[in-house]
Amino acid sequence: MSSPALDTLRRVFGHTAFRGPQAEIVEHVAGGGDALVLMPTSGGKSLCYQLPALLRPGCAIVVSPLIALMQDQVDALRQLGVAAACLNSALDADAASEVERQLREGALDLLYVAPERLLTPRFLSLLERSDIALFAIDEAHCVSQWGHDFRPEYRQLTLLHERWPDIPRIALTATADPPTQREIAERLQLEDARHFTSTFDRPNIRYTVVQKDNARRQLLDFLRGHANEAGIVYALSRRKVEETAAFLRENGVNALPYHAGMPAEVRAANQHRFLREDGIVMVATIAFGMGIDKPDVRFVAHIDLPKSIEGYTQETGRAGRDGEPAEAWMTYGLGDVVQLGQMIAQSDSDEARKRVEQRKLDALVGYCESMACRRQVLLANFGETYPPPCGHCDNCLTPPESWDASLAAQKALSCVYRSGQRFGAGHVIDILRGATSERIRQFGHDALSTYGIGTELDVRAWRGVFRQLVAGGWLAVDVDGHGSLRLTPKSAEILKDTQPVMLRREAPRKPGRASAARNTATTGLDPGSLPRFEALRELRTRLAREQSVPPYVIFHDRTLREIATLHPASLGELAEIGGIGSSKLERYGDAVLEVLAET
């Protein structure tokens, strides 16, 4: 590795070493090569183009789909003393022409632009007159129509290659199952580029899936273990977002809603608070999150099922970008599968697309039901093998028990069949358990031969059976009707008793547990360093306010912890700490030492 890259990494970014494949990528792109980079969220993608941008003459043009993302990156780069700017619709005409002037005069190292902007004839001709270091295409999965956030403008980015064949291009994404990977390479004409794939494993995230059973209460229990920590709660609909946020606030959680139906100002204000204040829980639809690279998000909770494993890894990937422990937690039930299946069936998409979506949903349900290590299942979806079980997810920590449910499954299927394949799981369970509801009498279901043959299991256990039968394809949900269940070709396996059906035993219902509130920001700090940490945090808040940037742009928690623990006495010692490059040392070094001297 050439030492200019390492020198710049240390001097400007304050990092001691490259992470994973960064070194190779930087070298390749700085040397003029094209690259396609697949790295999980928080793997450290930005550095792969930011560093070559500093090593090569000219300005790097970074294509990025979201304004919020650009602004954050530019703020962070300026803190490092890098000449960065962005051009987007949020700038007024004067500010925009100032940025254009800087570009022409060669005063910029990096310029972030939205694809719409980039593709205008005006901007392209500006580029013709400027010195370009490289093109970086961030969130490259936006080019794929099977990807979850397809942006048609991305398709036209091949134009960059056609007009500037000698300028290196680097495309980056955190979402890439093998078909999407191939589509990105093809659509961006990057087949000949070097492909860098790093593992999608996120070792600091603990994955947990619980069976849905009063989702709100379950959520509240989960949040008790994360007092005063920032996190995201994902829900499917706008209404559910509003209701959940209100419910959490009533219960003392500092929660804010976010969805596309809110007035733009309110939405922006909530996002702003999430980024700038400590410990906010954002309850949101998936409209929230792309480009949110707040490093200290401690958990991502799903109270509704996401649409695919890619979506799920992308959403949960927003937790723990700083590498500190974080949680991905989800509550899931049969109702979710029915609801999403209906949404797919009733959408305007063509049949091919619906089949793709249904397959993606099936894969996700498979993940939820799996008895194997969660991490192994997730990585298998990206074509990776995770060798030993992780020892850290719910299935590894409390291995689920399986039981021979062959007889129960036969009872379930015959009862579905005898009642005419017109009813949902709730009613069929009532028949099996011999309930005396109005509906049972009305349909004469108390006269069925399957009435009351399933009293050995309680409602909860039966729900688990039905959910798993659907997940395994032994029962289908009629998505056009009201979630009624029907048999499938696969049902014969069970009815003919050809193979035993092993199902996962439902975990016992947890009593409302008040888990010890721990706070990751201060874990691992010895008591003697705690006052220093708090004083440094105050300093950080003040500095962030003065410049109206998020606190983590100044210092990460980890940097503060290291300062508090090592207690440096000079600028030289301070410079040794991870996350402190020369620009931060110069700007904040004295203030930090002063705080340390006083505490």
Contacts of 155 by beta carbon, 8 Å cutoff, 6+ apart: 143, 187
**To the nearest whole angstrom, how small is the minimum distance from the Cβ of residue 440 to Zn ion?**
43
Minimal CA–CA distance to 200: which of 55, 386, 349, 431? 386
- Residue 393's binding partner among Zn ion, ligand ADP, none (Cβ under 5 to 8 angstroms by kind) is Zn ion
Based on CB atoms, which residue is closest to ligand ADP, 46 or 484?
A: 46
- Left if phi > 0, otherwise alpha if psi is -120 to 50, otherwise beta: which for 452? left
Q: Which does 321 bind (CB under 5 to 8 A by kind): ligand ADP, Zn ion, none?
A: ligand ADP
Q: Applying CB under 5 A, which of residues 390, 479, 536, 539 lies at the interface with Zn ion? A: 390
Taking the least distance from each CB to ligand ADP, the nearer of 474 and 588 is 588
CB nearer to ligand ADP: give 378 or 429: 378
Looking at beta carbons only, is 198 or 541 nearer to ligand ADP?
Answer: 198
User: Which whole-number Å values give the CA distances from 387 to 200, 309, 372, 375, 376, in the listed order?
Assistant: 13, 20, 12, 10, 8
Show the tokens assigned to 47.
Answer: 């550095």
Closest CA to 469 of 450, 451, 493: 493
Question: Distance between CA 519 and CA 590 in Å, rounded?
Answer: 29
Q: How far is the CB of 392 from Zn ion (least distance, A)?
A: 6
Which residues bind to ligand ADP, rule: CB under 6 A?
15, 18-19, 22, 39, 41-47, 293, 295, 321-322
Cβ-closest position to Zn ion: 373
Q: Residue 15's binding partner, choosing from ligand ADP, Zn ion, none, with beta-carbon cut-off 5 to 8 A by kind?
A: ligand ADP
Q: Which does 46 bind (CB under 5 to 8 A by kind): Zn ion, ligand ADP, none?
A: ligand ADP
Distance from C-alpha of 33 to C-alpha of 26, rounded to nearest angstrom: 10
Task: Quickly tell me which residue has 């110069």 as its tokens.
Answer: 586
Q: Which of 233, 373, 431, 470 forms a contact with Zn ion (CB under 5 A)?
A: 373
> Least CB distance from residue 33 to ligand ADP, whole Å?
20
- Selection from ligand ADP, Zn ion, none that 390 binds (CB < 5 to 8 A by kind) is Zn ion
Instruction: Calculate Rg over the CA atoms of the chain.
Output: 27
What does the longest C-alpha to C-alpha distance in the chain come to? 86
Is residue 393 within the footprint of Zn ion (CB under 5 A)? yes
At closest approach, how far in Å is the CB of 381 from ligand ADP?
19
Minimum CB separation from ligand ADP for residue 583, in Å? 14
Pairing between β-strand 475-478 and β-strand 484-487 as defined by DSSP bridges? antiparallel
Say how far apart CA 329 and CA 356 lie, in whole Å. 25
Smallest gap from residue 206 Cβ to Zn ion (A): 9
Q: Please name the residue that has the structure tokens 């194997």.
A: 372
| CA–CA separation, 303 and 113 (whole Å) | 35
Rounded to a whole number of angstroms, the minimum distance from the CB of residue 381 to Zn ion is 15
| Positions that interact with Zn ion (CB under 5 A) | 373, 375, 389-390, 393, 396
